[in-house]
Amino acid sequence: MKIARIHGAANVQLDELPTPAIGPNDLLVKVRACGICGSDLGYIAMGGLGGEGPMPIGHEFAGDIIAVGSNISEFSVGDAVAGNPDQRGIGNGGPEGAMATIIHIPDANPNMALHKIPPHISYEEAALAEPLSVALHGMNLVHVTDKDQVVVLGAGPIGLCAVAMLAHRGVQSIVVVDRVASRLQRALALGAHAIVNTAESDLSDSLAQHHGAGERYGKKFVGTDVFIDAAGAGALLNQIIDIAKFGTRISIIALYKNAVPINLYQVMANELKISGSIADQRADEFQQALDMMAAKPINRDAMISHRFSIEDLHPALSMAADADQSAKVMILLPA
pLDDT one-digit tens code per residue, 255-313: 998 999 999 999 999 999 999 999 788 889 999 999 999 999 999 999 999 999 999 99
Rama region for 256: left / alpha / beta (φ>0; ψ in -120 to 50; rest): beta
Residues 109 and 157 in one domain: no
Q: Rounded to whole angstroms, how far apart are CA atoms 182 and 200?
A: 14
CATH number of the domain residue 40 falls in: 3.90.180.10
In total, how many domains does the chain have? 2
| 240: three-class secondary structure by DSSP | helix
Region 317-323 average pLDDT: 96
Residues 136 and 257 in one domain: yes
Q: Is residue 27 part of a domain?
A: yes
Domain that holds residue 99: 2-128+298-332
pLDDT one-digit tens code per residue, 41-78: 999 999 999 888 999 999 999 999 999 999 999 999 99
pLDDT at 50: 85
pLDDT one-digit tens code per residue, 78-121: 999 999 998 889 999 999 999 999 999 998 876 678 999 998 99
Residues 59 and 122 in one domain: yes
pLDDT at 212: 98
Inter-CA distances, 107 with 28, 56, 103, 126, 161, Å = 11, 18, 13, 22, 29
pLDDT one-digit tens code per residue, 204-257: 999 999 999 999 988 999 999 999 999 999 999 999 999 999 999 999 999 998
pLDDT one-digit tens code per residue, 134-143: 999 999 999 9
Q: Is residue 16 part of a domain?
A: yes
The contacts of residue 44 (CB under 8 Å, 6+ apart) are 6, 10, 11, 12, 57, 317
pLDDT at 111: 64
pLDDT at 174: 98
Q: Is residue 288 part of a domain?
A: no
Q: Is residue 238 part of a domain?
A: yes
Q: Which amino acid is at 25?
A: N
Q: Is residue 282 part of a domain?
A: no
